[in-house]
Amino acid sequence: MTLGTTTTAIIVAFIVTVVLGFFIIPLLRKMKFGQSIREEGPESHQKKAGTPTMGGLIFLSSIILTMLSLSYIFEDVLTTQTIVLLIVLAGFGIIGFLDDFIIVVMKRNLGLTSIQKLIGQIIIAIIAFFLLKMGPFDTTVQIPFTDFAIDLGVFYVAFLIFWLVGFSNAVNLSDGLDGLVGGTSTIAFAAFGVYGLIYEQYDIAMFAFVVSGALLGFLCFNLKPAKVFMGDTGSLALGGTLAMLSVLVKQELLLLIIGVVFVIETLSVIIQVISFKLTGKRVFKMSPIHHHFELSGWSEWKIVIVFWGIALLAAIVPVLLEVM
């Protein structure tokens, strides 16, 4: 894969996303698929009520269309691995869409129950595992920056389920500010795209860069003030797919570093819940932690830029260490 091929993938995905956005956003607005805002959330968010949600449909459609289009131009774009990635992307996206649909259209504020979401996520993870097992599949987990790996054997399926479900929900928790998840996910997917190039897994690299290009296109509509939100449709799909990507390049645990923003956001929620249940006191003014900074007086733009910076640093350092 050349620099030109990579650039083509990003540009095509970007253009397709922007074009789809101009058609889908007015449709979402016309169908009154507007975001409802939690009353207990920051007061500044109340003005966002009614902004179209389910915008994940835009970049999910773009990714699928772009991958199909590029398969006619470049060889070995649609492989077993990229098909698995597309299945995870679509599967988790459908779960998120159902959740959004129930909340926005059926006016049931809680959407899918936690159990319903979990069952759906587990099913998708198991399907992905068995598709991968149809060919040679490594059940080891590499320790980052070392030559040491742990072979999980038959327990790898349990790890895969935990990994996909965990990061799907982690990205979902992080989706609370305009452009936050769109930007951090763009960086994370691009980082794993580089790893795909380093390990000569060009099909995976192509997919990762297509996702990055699609997310850059989505940011044209999602930066503050957002014209559309990705909703669970987008965030659940991105998290599950990012986890699957780390599995396919055999750098699973590296996702804890490259996806550190999602890890921090999730830990802040866990810490807040445990602290409140044990002591009756909150560690943060509000969780996830991006809301804590909002209530501390940070502007939305400042939080997003700082978190993007953290994500960029967390992506660049491992890549540099890999190539040195």
257 occurs within a structural domain: no
pLDDT at 85: 98
CB 254 within 8 A of CB 143: no
Number of neighbouring beta carbons within 10 Å of residue 73? 11
218 occurs within a structural domain: yes
pLDDT at 172: 96
Residue 46 has pLDDT above 80, yes or no: no
The identity of residue 75, as a single letter, is E
Stretch 53-67: mean pLDDT:
96
pTM score of the predicted model: 0.94
- CA 163 – CA 228 distance, rounded (Å): 28
Closest CA to 127 of 233, 244, 22, 29: 244
296 occurs within a structural domain: no
Residue 193 has pLDDT above 80, yes or no: yes
Collect all residues with Cβ–Cβ distance below 8 Å to 278 and sequence separation of at least 6: none
14 occurs within a structural domain: yes
DSSP string, 148-166: -EEE-GGGHHHHHHHHHHH
Residue 37 has pLDDT above 90, yes or no: no
pLDDT at 73: 87
Query: How many domains are contained in the chain?
Result: 1
Stretch 216-243: mean pLDDT:
96
Instruction: Give the dihedral sign, CA 287/290/291/296.
Output: positive
- CA 123 – CA 146 distance, rounded (Å): 33
287 occurs within a structural domain: no
CB 160 within 8 A of CB 128: yes
179 occurs within a structural domain: yes
- CA 57 – CA 61 distance, rounded (Å): 6
127 occurs within a structural domain: yes
- CA 144 – CA 56 distance, rounded (Å): 31
CB 171 within 8 A of CB 92: no
Q: Which domain holds residue 217?
A: 3-252
At 64-90, the pLDDT tens digits run: 999 999 998 888 899 999 999 999 999
At 88-141, the pLDDT tens digits run: 999 999 999 999 999 888 777 677 889 999 999 999 999 999 999 887 888 999
At 101-112, the pLDDT tens digits run: 998 887 776 778
Collect all residues with Cβ–Cβ distance below 8 Å to 197 and sequence separation of at least 6: 1, 6, 205
- CA 190 – CA 209 distance, rounded (Å): 6
Task: Copy the structure tokens of residue 17.
Answer: 């996303």
The identity of residue 289, as a single letter, is I
Residue 35 has pLDDT above 80, yes or no: no
Peptide bond preceding 52 in cis form (omega within 30 of 0): no
pLDDT at 307: 98
Q: Which residue has the higher pLDDT, 113 or 237?
A: 237
CB 20 within 8 A of CB 62: yes
265 occurs within a structural domain: no
At 308-324, the pLDDT tens digits run: 999 999 999 999 988 77
